[in-house]
A and B are shown apart, each in its own frame.
Chain A
């Protein structure tokens, strides 16, 4: 009985007063579709495939991203272009399987794939989430400057005939 009295006349009023004080606090809600909260600089969102400064694709279809992908979300088929360079004829990412871990970005030796800040790509069919090269490659000419600040410039295989030495040379040094 004493415990009950204590609960009714002390504990509950204290608790209710504590709740009442919350009434005057500033709401923490972000009105999402109208106001967007600031993204963290390392947020990992939708992938995109980068291009060189002359517009050719960086991806050489080495398959390291697909190999490193823990969710098995990447599929690619290689081909060669007229200059004898390898490129990805087909490059697909299943964004429903993807867990946005960023391993593909880590694994890429060509700095071709990055995880962007885009997170609003909801859709109404599962099939629409298999993003192909058309969706992933950055538009050319660029609509806005690349979010990646430092991209390695294009390199060529340089073969010195006299010595037989093979080297990777940046475009500008040629």
Chain B
């Protein structure tokens, strides 16, 4: 029992450290890639090819003044960034990123928790993220923050339905809710759920982008209209937490997409962890590519798209999948 606890603690520590590092350097990746897409060169001064830029950014954020607006609701204002950040990190606990390996004579599963209701936990936790944004928007006592918070609430709740429904096809075909088992079923490329569930995958991707407030669905922080949306009033590391939380969200959503649709850590020749990282990186690249390409939707378009297109399509997809699974 103690051994299990120690191993889990070490695994969590390693995974969280790696995840935070990945968050930091995906800001670098994003800046660099968007720069290349726009024929610029991006950060290039801090370290070779600007690779130390995230560290410089972190120090800059840490040394900035932590401002609390005079009329803000202080407790909620200070808590909100944590509440936006933590739910973004937790779901990685149930995502398997490798097969069982033997280390120091012990069998170690490369997943923090082989929880048999993994996907439900993921949705339960990620849906908490919206509270962080809403609280930040409300507690700042600023019109831009409030509007950003309202938008994020409406958008994330709408698209959460689509997100949940789009995954059900996979669960129907797989017959399980455990992410570990779902990965084990996708042992060859033909068994990947992206082949067996193309519509579900498309819907998942669209909803995931909306869930993480990324372009083209970044209305909660539409800089042209709302300054910065819900985190307008935040400064210093509290702003940094929102920022890291957004990237952690992206990474989590990418990891879950990899797990559900792209066979997780399964792949030939290379070790499982490398395959997992490659696939997550491909998703991140796709995210950034989208950001460089697409303009922001109008708010009514966004809601219409969510309710009139995504949800009916997801329901139809479930119907067809269920019929096929039944036959």
Contact = CB atoms under 8 A, between A and B. Distances in A.
Residue of B35, B38, B293 most packed against chain A (CB within 10 A): B293
A4 B306 CA distance: 13
A15 B39 contact: no
Interface string A133-146: 00000000000000
Given A15-B294, A16-B290, A19-B289, A26 B309 contact: no
Contacts of B39: 22, 25-29
Contact of A27 (B36, B289, B292): B36
A28 B35 CA distance: 10
Chain B interface size band reads: 10 to 19
Contact of A22 (B36, B41, B294): B36
A161 B292 CA distance: 82
Tell me if B's interface is mostly helix, strand, loop or mixed.
helix
B46 interface: no
A20 interface: yes
Nearest to A26: B39
B40 interface: yes
Contact of A28 (B40, B290, B293, B294): B40
The 9 closest A-B pairs by CB, nearest first: A19-B293, A27-B41, A29-B41, A16-B293, A25-B39, A29-B40, A28-B39, A27-B39, A22-B37
Nearest to B36: A23
A20 B289 contact: yes
A12 interface: yes
Interface residues of A, number: 15
Interface string A1-42: 000100000001001101110110111110100000000000
A24 to B, nearest CB: 9
B293 A15 contact: yes
Interface string B191-225: 00000000000000000000000000000000000
Nearest to B305: A4
A115 B38 CA distance: 35
Interface string B240-270: 0000000000000000000000000000000
Contacts of A18: 293
B21 interface: no
Contacts of B319: none
Interface string B26-44: 0000000101111111001
